[in-house]
Amino acid sequence: MGIVKHGLNDDVVRSSPMGVDGLIEIFDEFIDGLRNIDGFSHLIIISLLNKVTKEQQKVLVVRPRRLVRFGIAANELPEIGVFATDSPHRPNPIGLSIVRLVNRDGRFLRVSGLDLFDGTPILDIKPYTPDRSVGINDLRTPNWYSALWKRIGGGVI
């Protein structure tokens, strides 16, 4: 239904702790689906992680490498199941991203906080609404994650 456009190389996206600015181009036949999307602050983006290889789809245990961007050494990260991470290496290469909607210009959505590569196919878009959010008092994480989060200066979980 659409495609990511920002012109940045994959390493820039990978190393960006807060994501990058970019466009989501919606194909002409889906433009009516954007009606009234303006005004939402955030969107949930479902994508096809098209650069994940067949071999990477067999990976079931990983280290949560996203934390390396914040100064945690890779060898300090625990090995955990892929479903306990946001690793792109997984049996079904489907991505889920939450981005800020900056504005809409026709069939183009300008967004920030994008963690997808240039050219990534977009499968679906949903508004991020209060009924989907988890209150900070209800949010829990495993001890290993809480400890690493505190090491990188994250707030209380």
pLDDT in tens, 83-94: 999 889 999 999
**Amino acid 45: pLDDT:** 98
As a whole number of angstroms, the distance between CA 39 and CA 103 comes to: 8
Six token digits for residue 104: 């809409």
For the chain (length 157 residues), average pLDDT per consecutive 10?
Answer: 98 91 98 97 98 96 83 89 92 96 98 98 96 85 88 74
Q: For position 7, what pLDDT does the model report?
A: 97
Q: What is the pTM of this model?
A: 0.88
Buried b (16+ CB within 10 A) or exposed e, 14-25: eeeeebbebbbb
DSSP-derived 3-state class of residue 23: strand
Q: Evaluate whether 52 touches 31 at the Cβ level (below 8 Å).
A: no
Cβ–Cβ < 8 Å for 128, 97:
no
